[in-house]
Amino acid sequence: MKIKMKNNCVGALLLLILAAACKETTPARKKHELEIFWPGSFFYLDQVKNKQVMQIKDAEEDKLYASYLVGFHDSAWAPDPQQPKKAEERQVYYQFNMSNNWRAIVNGDSLLPVFYQPVPNADNKVNAGVIVFQLPEGTRPDTLVYRNAGDGWENMIISLKQHKLIQ
């Protein structure tokens, strides 16, 4: 049985529809206020509203804190079946201890976080959390400093005014 097409446009249209249906689309990645890329990984930072992680009673109290979502994405990381303790230590670090390596610089003073809330994630290559700093009244952090704790990331000095990595 032979089928003849009366119009070549119909064939071309069918081919285009088929090609579009087969084309794989990837969803757009969320853009962050600050993104720092390294080969195979990136770090991101976003300022978040304090009331997302704390119970704030009024607007004045809200000005006494600064909250930041920080995230580390390492596409090259994979658990090593020979060293299961390493994966466990990594999770403990990101769930409980990561905030110990952060400082906010406010008018030359170094402030420790007063609160840390890890953000659950189904992807074990992404580790994120919200760090909260208590501020002197009428001030905002100038800089955030991250000290490497052997997790594979470098020390970072982040200018909040310029939204960029200084070091």
CATH of the domain at 78: 2.60.40
Q: What value does the CA radius of gyration of the chain take, rounded to a whole number of Å?
A: 23
Question: Which residue range(s) make up the domain with 117?
Answer: 34-159
- Note whether residue 123 is domain-resident: yes
Q: Is the pLDDT score of 10 beyond 90?
A: no
pTM score above 0.85? no
Could you identify the residue written with the tokens 């003849």? Answer: 4
What is the C-alpha to C-alpha distance for residues 89 and 42, in angstroms, rounded to an integer? Answer: 21
- Note whether residue 22 is domain-resident: no
By the 10 Å C-beta count (0-12 exposed, 13-18 middle, 19+ buried), 19 is classed as: exposed
- Note whether residue 28 is domain-resident: no
The count of domains in the chain is 1
Query: Using one digit for the tens of pLDDT, what is the confidence trace for 48-80?
Result: 988 888 887 777 677 899 999 998 888 766 667
- Note whether residue 27 is domain-resident: no
- Note whether residue 166 is domain-resident: no
What is the C-alpha to C-alpha distance for residues 84 and 87, in angstroms, rounded to an integer? Answer: 6
